[in-house]
Each structure stands twice: as C-alpha cells, then as structure tokens.
Amino acid sequence: MREEVERALEKVRIALAADGGNVELIDVTEDGVVKVKLTGACGCCPMSQMTLKMGIERMLKQEVPQVKEVVSV
C-alpha cells in the first residue's frame, strides 16, 4: 500500500509545490493510517490542517481505498 500512497502523493505535490510547499510520507500503518509531514511553506501555513484533511486525505482516500486517515507528524 505504501507504493500506492506515494504515487498518489505525487499528484498532490504538484499543487503544493506551486505554493512553495511539499509533503513527505513518513509511514503507512497496517490499519490504513498515513503519516505525513508538511514541509516548506505548508509546514507553517495556518491553513495546513485544512489542506491535510480536505485536500490530501480526501484525494488519498479516493486513490487508495485502504487509507482510513491521514495525520500530520
């Protein structure tokens, strides 16, 4: 599942990079929790939690149905 998540994150990185940010995949647990770290401009953005939940998590759940939740570490 990790490879599928990484491929899906590549699609998100394009949009994040346009705003000076990025996302780093930290871990994918067996129960479907994806742990990521927002970096660059996204790391300190006040809207980062919305980006995480409404953008990254929503897209990952569509692309990889085994994903249950995305959390920032």
Task: Provide the CA 12 distance to its chain's centre, in angstroms.
Answer: 7
Burial-class residue 25 by CB neighbours within 10 Å (0-12, 13-18, 19+): middle
pTM: 0.91
Q: Domain range for residue 68?
A: 2-72
17: domain CATH number? 3.30.300.130
pLDDT tens per residue, range 7-66: 999 999 998 999 899 999 999 999 999 999 999 998 888 889 999 999 999 999 999 999
Radius of gyration of the chain (CA): 11
How many separate domains does the chain show? 1
Token pair in block for residue 43: 């790391």
What pLDDT is recorded for position 43?
A: 85
Q: With beta carbons less than 8 A apart as the criterion, state whether 71 and 33 touch.
A: yes
60/17 Cα distance (integer angstroms): 17
